């Protein structure tokens, strides 16, 4: 067969060493990955660079993360470069992971390499669906990731970025932006980064504070920042603030029937099942838990601090309160959720908020709303 392909001379535009700076961001919904990407692109463009970003969406409900990819470089003699759409293993300068296991997955994908990559990652965990639904302890081993980071990355910045962001009333994207600035991978000043945040308007004050805290944390190597501890009162109040005589009886019964080591977990479980359905459902939860504790006691669980009873209190509550369609609809239509969204958006007087909820039901969800 004759080859009639027309071949044009395409000389290289420059030396082979001329390459863009490439940044891969791995983030889940609500962590501001898109905002962080926009900030980095804007930062580069503010300095006359050519920047391009793409994203590959993950799956909702913590079964996958979105990968954002950025390439940026200054134009050469007025000519704009052709930039890639996806990260190439072995050719990424910075990997930013908003969760510890996502850092591990980036290493597995080959995005983190010892000759090139600076790894910026938060060491907190946000458990995946597979970890949550395991019958026992399904939490993945973070030690494997810790060991891999020391071998796979050229340099690393690892600490609890999420706790730092929470402590300053912002989201993790602002902390990651501060860590990126402190890493000095991009040839831009600290003030250049701050100018980008301030131009964003809403939430800029908290984002600036979080950025500066992360920047200083990286530069000074200061001690770990921890998130504010949850209120202890929540452990003892498995109900709304309104007193309920029937519920008070369940709490009294819980204290009488269960051992001290299991009380905290049992209170949390009782709160969950009552919120899921009603007080009568909470009584059923305690009936089953009492039977399980009796088995634990007869098997000599006392010397083991009734560990079986405590564990049973957790998994029984999870089994009795699952997120079916009705439950999700209930949670999404609560006034407290809307108030939280309005607060996060910093809405002013007179502004109107409209939210749109999406659902793509499978046959399981359809069957779940039908009568037994």
State the pTM of this model. 0.65
Q: Note the pLDDT of residue 224.
A: 55
Torsion angle of C-alpha atoms 226, 227, 232, 233, degrees rounded to 10: 160
Confidence of residue 151 (pLDDT cuts 50, 70, 90): confident
Asked whether residue 192 is domain-assigned, the answer is yes
Asked whether residue 1 is domain-assigned, the answer is no
Of 56, 42, 45, 119, the closest CA to residue 84 belongs to: 56
| pLDDT at position 238 over 50 | no
For residues 84 and 60, which has the higher predicted lDDT (pLDDT)?
Answer: 84
Could you say which of 165, 192, 220 is where a domain stops?
220
Q: What is the pLDDT of residues 318-368, one digit of tens each?
A: 999 877 888 888 888 899 988 888 887 777 788 888 888 877 778 888 888
Mean pLDDT of 164-177: 92
Same-domain status, 288 and 359: no
Could you say which of 160, 195, 220 is where a domain stops?
220
Asked whether residue 6 is domain-assigned, the answer is no
For residues 139 and 167, which has the higher predicted lDDT (pLDDT)?
Answer: 167
CB-based contact 69:107 (threshold 8 Å): no
Same-domain status, 281 and 342: no
| pLDDT at position 165 over 60 | yes
Q: What is the pLDDT of residues 1-28, one digit of tens each?
A: 566 666 666 665 555 457 899 999 998 8
SS3 state of residue 277: coil
Same-domain status, 215 and 352: no
Asked whether residue 15 is domain-assigned, the answer is no
Q: How many domains does the chain have?
A: 3
Q: Note the pLDDT of residue 127.
A: 77
Same-domain status, 277 and 174: no
Q: What is the pLDDT of residues 85-107, one digit of tens each?
A: 989 898 999 999 998 888 888 99
Asked whether residue 181 is domain-assigned, the answer is yes
Asked whether residue 226 is domain-assigned, the answer is no
Same-domain status, 201 and 311: no
CB-based contact 120:94 (threshold 8 Å): yes
| pLDDT at position 137 over 90 | no
Q: Note the pLDDT of residue 2.
A: 62
Mean pLDDT of 127-150: 75
Same-domain status, 171 and 243: no
Domain that holds residue 255: 232-322
Asked whether residue 304 is domain-assigned, the answer is yes
Burial of 261 (0-12, 13-18, 19+ CB in 10 A): middle
Same-domain status, 175 and 316: no
Could you say which of 220, 252, 278 is where a domain stops?
220
| pLDDT at position 299 over 90 | yes
Mean pLDDT of 156-171: 92
Q: Of the ranges 207-221, 223-237, 326-340, which is most confident?
A: 207-221
Q: What is the pLDDT of residues 32-63, one digit of tens each?
A: 888 999 999 999 999 999 999 998 876 544 44
Same-domain status, 209 and 269: no
161-165, 193-197, 200-204, range with the lowest pLDDT: 200-204
Asked whether residue 28 is domain-assigned, the answer is yes
Q: What is the CATH number of the domain that holds 36?
A: 3.40.920.10
Q: What is the pLDDT of residues 278-288, one digit of tens each?
A: 999 999 999 99
d(CA 140, CA 143): 9
Same-domain status, 318 and 330: no
Same-domain status, 46 and 150: yes
């Amino acid at each position: 067969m004759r080859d009639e392909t027309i071949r044009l001379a395409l000389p290289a535009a420059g030396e082979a060493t001329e390459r863009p700076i490439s940044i891969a961001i791995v983030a889940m919904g609500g962590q501001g990955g898109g905002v962080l990407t926009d900030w980095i692109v804007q930062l580069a463009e503010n300095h006359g660079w050519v920047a391009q970003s793409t994203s590959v969406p993950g799956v909702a409900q913590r079964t996958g993360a979105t990968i954002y990819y950025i390439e940026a470089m200054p134009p050469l003699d007025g000519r704009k470069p052709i930039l890639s759409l996806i990260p190439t293993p072995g050719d990424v300068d910075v990997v930013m992971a908003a969760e510890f296991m996502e850092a591990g997955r980036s290493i597995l994908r080959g995005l983190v390499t010892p000759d090139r990559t600076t790894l910026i990652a938060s060491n907190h965990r946000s458990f995946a669906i597979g970890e949550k639904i395991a019958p026992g302890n399904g939490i993945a081993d973070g030690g494997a990731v810790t060991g891999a980071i020391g071998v796979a990355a050229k340099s690393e910045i690892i600490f609890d970025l999420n706790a730092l962001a929470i402590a300053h009333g912002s989201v993790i994207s602002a902390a990651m932006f501060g860590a990126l600035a402190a890493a000095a991978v991009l040839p831009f000043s600290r003030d250049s980064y701050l100018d980008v945040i301030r131009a964003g308007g809403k939430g800029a004050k908290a984002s600036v504070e979080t950025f500066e805290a992360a920047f200083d944390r990286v530069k000074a190597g200061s001690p770990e920042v921890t998130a504010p501890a949850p209120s202890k009162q929540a452990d003892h109040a498995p109900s709304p603030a309104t007193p309920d005589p029937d519920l008070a009886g369940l709490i009294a019964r819980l204290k009488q029937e269960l051992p001290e080591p299991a009380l905290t977990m049992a209170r949390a479980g009782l709160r969950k099942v009552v919120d899921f359905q009603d007080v009568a459902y909470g009584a059923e939860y305690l009936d089953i838990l009492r039977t399980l504790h009796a088995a634990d006691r007869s098997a000599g669980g006392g010397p083991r601090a009734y560990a079986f009873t405590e564990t049973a209190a957790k998994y029984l509550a999870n089994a009795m309160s699952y997120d079916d369609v009705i439950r999700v609809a209930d949670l999404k239509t609560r006034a407290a959720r809307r108030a939280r969204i309005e607060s996060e958006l910093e809405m002013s007087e007179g502004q109107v908020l409209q939210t749109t909820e999406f659902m793509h039901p499978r046959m399981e969800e359809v069957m779940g709303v039908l009568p037994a």
